[in-house]
Amino acid sequence: MSDEDLIGYLFDLLDPDDRAAVAACVDADTEVAARLERLRAAAAPVLATAEAERDDPPEPQPGLAVRAIAKVAQYVVEHEPRASEPERPETAMSAFLRDYNSDAPVEFEPGTRAKVPGATAAPAPPASDGPDPQPGRRFRADLIVAAGIAFLGFGLVFSGIAKARQQQRVYACQNSLRTLHTGLAGYADSDPQSRYPQIGTAAYPTADTFAASLTDLGHLPAGYRPGCPASADYAAYAYTLGFRGPNDELVGLRRSNAASPACDEYDLMPISADFPTASAAPCAGPLSPHAGCMNVLFVGGNVRLTTSPFVGPGGDDIYRNVYNVVGAGANRSDAVLGRPGDRP
């Protein structure tokens, strides 16, 4: 068991299967358990900070990134070792001009004029064959490069932090859906026909009222909110609208067991999920708090993260029925989930 796995276990960054494997290894191996406790003690301040920031993430101070980039750029410019520039070799033309200028002037009789073949009235060019170095330009170039490197580094760090937080929100929502499945299973076990809470009745007319029936019978933990904990405004999950029977009667989903007919097998039937994404939404309404993806809970207890709404039996859209509207399914294999206010 590596320290990376133990650190991921401490900071709750592992998926459920990996976390269970680490927990089992810690229980079985005293040496691993001792390593975990040493890591927990060493990371106690970080763990406390992470726990405090989990529910109330701190906002960076205004202008923090700009000030940090400026500090890094200033440090690089002041402390970067600069190699001295090699002396440029003297060109043939520079050597000729140097020798020509060093010769003693020739004296002529009054009224005569020296005639040097190829000579012009223009002054001799300077000995150097290039412009003098300009330190100011070099400084500005170093500053731009350092600022670019610092900006790229901060971008990578912030991107990694945002990705880790998004993944943590997804995991929290998946655990919440598993808790909801436990309550739904308990309700079905207590129902004479093994049915899950059915909406479309006078007591529970819309999709968001299904949790009231679970709460009334004590199948949900105290204080549990049937919505994704990643968003304070996300107070509900989408829930099954049921389907229409042969006589157009509304029928709710039923939990399968060993005595159920084959046609009543619903382990792969979606029963609850996050709100749809913007691209999957059938109409205006609340959207998934996970940007381009959503968690889906199936009757068998499996939770799946998906970017597509076509995860119902046979690949049908879980937010519309076969008639492409929000309403009860046309038959028992037509899965439809409704948001708050949706009716069968």
Mean pLDDT of the chain, nearest integer: 77
- Which of 166-175, 177-186, 321-330 comes out lowest in average pLDDT? 166-175
Please give the Cα distance from 187 to 181 (Å, whole number).
10
How confident is the model over 213-241, as a mean pLDDT? 79
Residue spans of the domains in the chain: they are 3-48, 163-338
Compute the residue count for the chain: 344
The pLDDT of residue 18 is above 90: no
Q: Tell me how far apart the alpha carbons of residues 344 and 201 are, in angstroms, rounded to a whole number.
A: 10
pLDDT at 168 over 60: yes
**Which pLDDT band holds residue 320 (cuts at 50, 70, 90)?**
very high
What's the distance, Cα to Cα, between the start and end of the chain in Å? 51
pLDDT of the residue at 188: 86
Confidence class for position 133, pLDDT limits 50, 70, 90: low
Tokens of residue 233, six digits: 């405004």
* Predicted pLDDT at 272: 92
H or E stretch covering 238: strand 238-240
Per-residue confidence band for 228, with pLDDT thresholds at 50, 70 and 90: confident
Cβ–Cβ < 8 Å for 292, 277: yes
Residue 90 confidence class, pLDDT cut points 50, 70, 90: low
Half-sphere exposure of 139 (CA within 13 A, CB side): 6
Q: Is the pLDDT of residue 284 over 60?
A: yes
Nearest to 272 by CA among 171, 172, 192, 182: 182
Strand order in the sheet with 337-338: 303-306, 294-298, 270-273, 238-240, 337-338
- Average pLDDT score over residue span 34-62: 73
| CA–CA separation, 331 and 234 (whole Å) | 30
For 14, other C-beta atoms within 10 Å of its C-beta total 18
The pLDDT of residue 215 is: 80
- What are the two backbone dihedrals, phi and then psi, of residue 254, each rounded to the nearest 5 degrees? -125, 145
Please name every residue paired with 337 in a beta bridge, in sequence order, or none if there are none. 240
Confidence at residue 86, expressed as pLDDT on a 0 to 100 scale = 62
Query: Is the dihedral angle over the CA atoms 80, 81, 87, 88 positive or is it negative?
Result: negative
pLDDT at 268 over 70: yes
Higher per-residue confidence, 320 vs 18 = 320
Which tokens hold the place of 94? 């520079």
For residues 151 and 216, the model is more confident at 216
The model's confidence at residue 309, banded by pLDDT at 50, 70 and 90, is very high
Beta-bridged to residue 305, according to DSSP, are 295
